[in-house]
Chain A
Amino acid sequence: EVQLMESGGGLVKPGGSLRLSCAASGFTFGTYSMNWVRQAPGKGLEWVSSINSYSTYIFYGDSVKGRFTISRDNAKNSLYLQMDSLRAEDTAVYYCARAVRLVFDALDIWGQGTMVTVSS
């Protein structure tokens, strides 16, 4: 079964750091571009970051640029999001999602999400 599973969410104070992980299974992870998308409580979807299969193309949304770092380990079938200098407005469910073909593409497989709460 094709699956993505996020972990690493939790409660963190403003200014703190958190590292999210996304474990992939059921497909050849190393051949797909991957994304992080977040959703604040009761709000819509916001694209956070994209990375291509070789980690040669990496992009970030303006709201997280300079604070978040996306990476991947194809040998471990894993995607990561290092989140530093966290703010209250980063509070959201964070989803990892697989791109259909290209680094910017529709997202056909999603994880169940992990909640990040930034609060003092």
Chain B
Amino acid sequence: DIQMTQSPSILSASVGDRVTITCRASQSISNWLAWYQQKPGKAPKLLVYRASTLESGVPSRFTGSASGTEFTLTITSLQPDDFATYYCQQYYSYSTFGQGTKVEIK
């Protein structure tokens, strides 16, 4: 099974901050990686797929990038609506989600 190690687990930040979340895959997954945002009591929302393609309607302050088995989600200027939990998902070999990163108000 492919393991996804996501860090940090909690991130404290302020509105306007640049925020970076990282996921590392235990083996090569090409670019079969997605990022989701989840708010309490709600379903996850797809933000990025194929590592760097922004889902339609997602603000351009969200960007995804990849380097080998390390994947990054960056929020260039954190907005109040962005405080949430973020998950990565590899879908190269079946599907595995990371453990999540909670972005909280500093």
Real complex partners, A and B? no
Binding site for B on A (CB under 8 A): none
Binding site for A on B (CB under 8 A): none
